[in-house]
């Protein structure tokens, strides 16, 4: 006996599903199925239709948002059905990284998470990160998010990668590279 879908030999055994492609072999006519089987088939068809609609709507929303902001930023809208719509909506603008330089960099063979020396002061946060081999700020990408800061530093075939939790109310106001050590200062 051969599979109806992939045409591979089933070795004469009675398989409910093909061991090669997974296709159901002994499909029953719909009139011979029980009520539960009919309900399951109908629900799986409805599920496919809903998922297709969801992905189509999502793709349209992404295309619209890409064309809306020509400055490289994008908007994120988060809503919750547990509160009235006026209170549940929160919008944030996140600056996308400059991908023109990131795409020209070779893929690193090694990723290293450097140690960070963090000094907390009232209303300030100072972070020192040693980055051996990094010579200038052009080799460093710093992304500040709402509650964290992401640092990527490229040298040869190495990538230094670090994510640091930062208080929401502090902004990055100074960044320097001194003797292969990145110095970041956050404050009000």
* Local confidence pLDDT in tens for the 188 residues of the chain: 778 778 888 776 677 778 777 777 766 555 555 666 666 667 777 777 888 888 888 777 777 665 555 555 556 666 655 555 444 444 444 455 555 555 567 778 889 999 999 999 888 999 999 999 998 898 899 988 888 889 999 988 899 999 998 888 888 889 999 999 999 998 88
Instruction: Classify strands 158-165 and 110-112 as parallel, antiparallel or unpaired.
Output: parallel
In angstroms, what is the C-alpha Rg of the chain? 27
Contact 153, 140 (CB under 8 A): yes
pTM of the complete model: 0.47
Q: What fold characterizes domain 99-187? A: Immunoglobulin-like (2.60.40)
158 Cβ contact partners less than 8 Å away, ≥ 6 residues apart:
108, 109, 110, 111, 112, 133
Q: Hey, what are 45's tokens?
A: 């068809």
């Amino acid at each position: 006996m051969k599979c109806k879908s992939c045409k591979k030999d089933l070795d004469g055994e009675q398989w409910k599903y093909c061991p090669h492609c997974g296709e159901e072999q002994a499909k029953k006519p719909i009139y011979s199925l029980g009520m539960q089987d009919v309900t399951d088939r109908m629900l799986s068809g409805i599920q496919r239709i809903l998922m297709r609609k969801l992905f189509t709507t999502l793709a349209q929303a992404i295309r619209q948002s890409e064309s809306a902001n020509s400055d490289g930023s994008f908007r994120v809208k988060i809503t919750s059905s547990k509160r009235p719509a006026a209170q549940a909506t929160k919008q944030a603008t996140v600056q996308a990284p400059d991908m023109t330089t990131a795409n020209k960099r070779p893929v690193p063979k090694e990723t290293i998470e450097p140690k960070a020396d963090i000094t907390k002061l009232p209303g300030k946060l100072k972070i020192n990160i040693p980055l051996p081999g990094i010579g200038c700020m052009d080799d460093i990408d710093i992304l500040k998010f709402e509650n964290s800061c992401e640092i990527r530093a490229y040298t040869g075939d190495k990538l230094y990668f670090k994510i640091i939790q930062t208080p929401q109310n502090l902004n990055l106001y100074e960044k320097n590279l001194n003797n292969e050590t990145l110095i970041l200062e956050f404050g009000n």
